[in-house]
Amino acid sequence: MDPLTLITDIQPLAPARFGGEQPQRAPFFQGQLLQGLVTAKGEGQQFTLEINGRPVSAESAAPLQIGQRLDLHVAALAPRMELQIVAANPVNRWLGSALPLLGQHTTLLPAVATLAEDKSLLSGMSPAARATLQLYAGFLPQMEGGPTAPSPASVHLINLIGQTVTTPGDRQLQALAFKIGGLLEQIASTPLLSAQTAAAASRLAEHFNQAALRGDFSAMNADPRSPVLQTNTQTPGAASPSPQPGTLATIPPTLLLLPNLPAVLKAIETLPDTHPLRQVLTLVTQVEGERSTAAGPHAGGTLLHDRVHGLGLNMERLLAGDSPEEAIRTLKFALLEVAGRAEAASDRNLSPERMVQTLELYQLLQLRLAGEALIFLPLPFPFLQQGFLLIDRDRAGKDQDDAGQQTDRPNQSASLHLQLEGLGNLQIDIHRQEDRIALTFRAEQPEQARFLAKFRDELEQWITGGRLESVQFLLGAKEPNRTLLETIVGQGGTGMIDTTA
């Protein structure tokens, strides 16, 4: 088909900013892969497309039909943006051209950390994208024994506190109050919190939601005689209370990493202790203290889960659905925003476009392996030379009893494929049935298997959500990337992937 040439500016992927600012241009870059839906036909060669949930006016000589879904490739950005319609089922071709990036996955987070050191770059970014970039830049020190990273909800609440103090106009305040109320409701449902803190979060959420619904922002000043949150109550795991809540003395280390925290504290320093914004900050300090205490020795696993989830491998689905705020807090969205800036890094190894391509490779692998009933989760962290998790959907669900009859007992299977310095290639097969967990460790060499077996007794204290029933230490581990390729093309070697594109 002929190239599809856009004749108007692309609509923004993110909602327009509050305060009357103009929306940002969509963070498309040359070579990006998109999906579009033909929603209307105008005169001649004019069409309306929907890309990532946004309408786009376009012209094309191709015989497009309303309701047709298109796989698109960003072929050019100037003088006008051109999107090329890609042939059906292009996953294998795209995957083949992107597979070389698998060998460079360990550079992703160090490159993000280098970008986050560029103060001129950070100053021009949106608050959400800047916070996300800095969050991932600090990931490695946190995994190596530093304080657990704050939750995205806590980070976003601190940003909103600063915006609310400095924002004039009831319309903007109403939108901010609704956002604060929604995040507080989300925090109230966090399972690791004490009942007291969860109840306080619910009361604060109701306070902000009611103020937003009434449009009466004089109610933003709580009655000093009945504060929403009692600040003189010691919560286990939280920082020690102070006569002046919301000062550096009451902030846990997890939040001290946030670069905008001093400005937020200065903005609220004249507010009374019972002001709802002060109450929100005090609540956040309690939440982060309880999260650190509850996570205990498993904090690393919780942090790892949060960072994998926040990579943005489902960013497009979040944008097209009803979760755009969650989408713009992902690493992929932040890198797309950086890629759209003219002053972005020119070093190929630090190129935000290359980082986005790495994330899109993971998305393509997820798409390709879904056809094999496998869920693919990458582990692109420098402490792993290679690493990913495969979850077998065919073996997840109902189990069979000894007579061959189906039962309702949950049956889950997954395998970790890792390459670590010193231990080499390692495969860990995990099988869970009800609360019973069976593990099989596969190493490359007998001495590596014997070394791992020495830690068998320590495994039980690191496993949550089940009882360790059996552990085996065997041989047979392969290089993770080789295993991944064999899974894609088939063990018999009959499948092919074109890597010449």
pTM for this predicted structure = 0.54
Would you say residue 379 lies in a domain? no
Within 347-479, residue ranges assigned H as helices are 352-370, 446-453, 456-462
pLDDT of residue 233: 37
Does 75 lie in the same domain as 183?
A: no
pLDDT of residue 390: 94
Domain CATH number, residue 54: 2.40.50
Range of the domain at 36: 4-88
Paired tokens of 248: 């550096």
The residue out of 61, 88, 115 marking a domain boundary is 88
Would you say residue 371 lies in a domain? no
pLDDT block averages, 10 residues each, the chain of length 501: 44 42 53 81 86 81 84 77 69 62 78 87 86 80 54 84 75 82 85 81 89 69 43 37 41 64 78 84 85 56 77 90 86 90 57 88 87 87 86 63 49 90 89 92 92 83 82 94 80 39 35
Would you say residue 489 lies in a domain? yes
How many other CB atoms are found less than 10 A from the CB of residue 80? Answer: 12
Does 176 lie in the same domain as 81?
A: no
Domain CATH number, residue 473: 3.30.750
467 forms bridges with which residues in the sheet?
A: 436
Paired tokens of 282: 């005090």
Does 418 lie in the same domain as 296?
A: no
pLDDT of residue 489: 67
Q: How far apart are CA 336 and CA 329, in angstroms?
A: 12
Does 302 lie in the same domain as 188?
A: yes
The residue out of 41, 64, 88 marking a domain boundary is 88
Does 158 lie in the same domain as 69?
A: no
pLDDT of residue 258: 67
390 forms bridges with which residues in the sheet?
A: 376, 415
Paired tokens of 170: 């009831």
Contact between 287 and 154 (Cβ < 8 Å):
yes
- Half-sphere exposure of residue 218: CA atoms within 13 angstroms, side-chain side: 0
468 forms bridges with which residues in the sheet?
A: 437
Does 294 lie in the same domain as 153?
A: yes
Specify the number of domains making up the chain. Answer: 3
Q: How far is CA 411 from CA 404, 468, 470, in A?
A: 15, 15, 16
> Count of residues for the chain?
501
Contact between 50 and 72 (Cβ < 8 Å):
no
Q: How far apart are CA 309 and CA 362, in angstroms?
A: 13
Would you say residue 143 lies in a domain? no
Contact between 364 and 99 (Cβ < 8 Å):
no
Q: How far apart are CA 47 and CA 60, in angstroms?
A: 8
The residue out of 46, 72, 88 marking a domain boundary is 88
pLDDT of residue 481: 87
Does 195 lie in the same domain as 284?
A: yes
